[in-house]
Amino acid sequence: MQQDILINWSPQETRVAVVENGAVQELHVERTLERGLVGNVYLGKVARVLPGMQSAFIDIGLDRAAFLHVADLMSSINSRHAESDAAQAANGTGAPAAAAPQPIEKQLFEGQAVMVQVLKDPIGTKGARLTAQISIAGRLLVFLPQDNHIGVSQKIPPRQREDLRQRLQTLTSDQGGGFILRTNGEDATDAELGEDIAYLRKTWARIKAAAQRLPPTSVLHQDLSLLQRVLRDLVGETTQAIRIDSREQFESLTAFAAEFMPATLQKLQLHSGERPIFDLFNIDEEVAKALGRRVDLKSGGYLIIDQTEALTTVDVNTGGFVGARNFDDTIFKTNLEAAQAIARQLRLRNLGGIVIVDFIDMLRENHRDMVLAEFQKQLARDRIKTTVNGFSALGLLEMTRKRTRESLAHQLCEPCDACSGKGVVKTARSVSYDILREILREARQFNPREFRVVASPKVIELFLDEESQHLAGLSDFIGKPISLQSEAAMSQEQYDIVLL
């Protein structure tokens, strides 16, 4: 699988497309004024402690207070309290009794300064999710400065993990702190790991120094920009080229790569062609498709994808596909192609949380097993953690995909003013009947000389044509003239009734 990474940069926005064999697999967008907060470290101030929920709201300088659960409190706080309680409860032989976890109200108080890190960006009406267990990601390792745990990525084969763990233990044992080896650190040399360790420790020292001199709600550390994260997270062995269309950012990225990720240097390329870089692979067209509900399959079938606050639903339809010899085979082949397309769409749209897939009903058990196996195979390529629960009793496939940032649709779109996010509007006829009822109500309370209806052109046209008889009948009933005024700026559901 050959991969190209295309970077389109402008002062207001950075866009990154991951293209495999000519097809866009991932889209990442970072806007200068809307940069994500995940990974940022703040000196927060406790705004409110909620013992009943065992959580606290922390002010980190955002519009909404962020959320911290007791499970995400710094381990050193918990262990310090635990050791104190255990010492007091020690029995006569000197052996400490088991210490119960400390409730949050005994660890935090309003106005307290606490160092926290953003786990999840604010989404919708929810504030950011925080942790007090700081972790700093490097190219090869993740540093856990408040912990002594040595771990290895679960994506590395089990037979290699223990050897890597022992090796990492030897490299990091002298100065304390915990480390987790990332997947791309599997084949790293001791020298490369040593460089990453030094960089991470230096970063942590800067964070601690900033916490001593800056006031609460200050930013102590910002995660890497999208451009830098491309080199850290997206580049792999299959990456052929990283093409960027800004000379200034190309030089900046080259300097960053030379210092921290020299292996990626040879893959960096400056795009200077006449055609915009995203035009080479029709990226903008893919973005437009990723914002639509319908996704057409090559076979003639299609998907309908609906994203709600609680979950995302995907409905699979055969459409015009009649290519197989019998209906069972038609359904199976459509579902098989849909499994591949859905996995790609989840990455492309960055859909997270609960996902329900309504595949076309399959009568044969082996067909269901093969579709599930293909879906899991395609999901294995995802950088984000996914969990598939299999088919439910109703034949729906249930899964979850970890949500760490806004979906592409939430990043690029907003609710429609006309429908307020419902996705539908009342018909012109329904609105016209609402207007007739409203005029009747107004006529019972007031005694104007005339009623004037101001509404959208479609509604006014209906009153002048098909509903003219009903409008005239109401005018006769209330004994008042009713005039009409078309207003092009109004949406179909908007109207005003003016008393003259």
Structure token pair of residue 266: 């040879």
Question: How buried is residue 283: exposed, middle or buried, by Cβ count under 10 Å (0-12/13-18/19+)?
Answer: buried
In a 3-state reduction of DSSP, which class is residue 219? strand
Q: Are strands 268-270 and 239-244 parallel, antiparallel or unpaired?
A: parallel
Distance of CA 271 to the CA centre of its chain: 29
The rounded distance, in Å, linking the Cα atoms of 192 and 264 is 14
Question: How buried is residue 376: exposed, middle or buried, by Cβ count under 10 Å (0-12/13-18/19+)?
Answer: middle
The rounded distance, in Å, linking the Cα atoms of 334 and 319 is 9
pLDDT per residue, tens digit, the chain (500 aa), is 788 999 999 888 999 999 988 889 999 998 887 777 889 999 999 999 999 999 999 999 988 999 999 999 865 444 434 333 333 333 444 444 445 568 999 999 999 999 999 999 887 778 999 999 999 988 789 999 988 888 988 878 788 888 888 888 888 877 788 999 987 788 788 888 887 888 898 889 989 999 999 999 999 998 888 898 888 878 877 899 999 999 999 999 999 888 777 888 999 999 988 888 888 888 888 888 888 889 999 888 899 999 888 899 999 988 765 555 677 888 889 999 999 999 999 999 999 889 999 999 888 889 999 999 999 999 988 878 888 988 888 889 999 998 767 788 888 888 887 777 777 889 999 999 999 999 999 999 999 999 999 999 999 999 999 999 999 999 999 999 999 999 999 999 999 999 99
Task: Summarize pLDDT for 46-82 with one digit per residue, the tens.
Answer: 999 999 999 999 999 988 999 999 999 865 444 434 3
Answer for the pair 25, 19: CB distance below 8 angstroms, yes or no: yes
Please report the DSSP string for 21-83 in residue order: TTEEEEEEEEEGGG---TT-EEEEEEEEEEGGGTEEEEE-SSSS-EEEEGGGS-HHHHHHHHH
For residue 380, the model assigns a pLDDT of: 87
For residue 117, the model assigns a pLDDT of: 95
For residue 404, the model assigns a pLDDT of: 66
The rounded distance, in Å, linking the Cα atoms of 79 and 72 is 13
Residues 312-347 as b/e (b if ≥16 CB within 10 A, e otherwise) read: bbbbbbbeebeeeeeeeebbbbbbbbbbebbbbbbb
Question: How buried is residue 13: exposed, middle or buried, by Cβ count under 10 Å (0-12/13-18/19+)?
Answer: middle
Answer for the pair 493, 425: CB distance below 8 angstroms, yes or no: yes
- Write the CA distances from 175 to 157, 190, 324, 364, integer angstroms: 28, 16, 65, 59
SS (HEC) of 411-467: HHCCCCCCCCCCCCCCCHHHHHHHHHHHHHHHHHHCCCCCEEEEECHHHHHHHHCCC
Q: What is the DSSP letter of 302?
A: E
What is the CB neighbour count within 10 angstroms for residue 58? 27
For residue 494, the model assigns a pLDDT of: 92
What is the CB neighbour count within 10 angstroms for residue 117? 25
Which residue has tokens 């519009």? 63
Residue 189 parent element (H or E): none
Which residue ranges form the domains of the chain, and what is each CATH number? 3-35+225-283 (3.30.420.60), 41-83+109-220 (no CATH), 291-412 (no CATH), 428-499 (3.40.1260.20)
Long-range contact set of residues 133-137: C-beta below 8 Å, sequence gap at least 24: 133/72, 133/73, 133/74, 133/75, 134/41, 134/74, 134/204, 134/207, 136/200, 136/203, 136/204, 136/207, 136/221, 137/39, 137/182, 137/223, 137/232
Please report the DSSP string for 66-86 in residue order: EEEEGGGS-HHHHHHHHHHHH
List phi, psi (to 5°) of 223: -65, 165
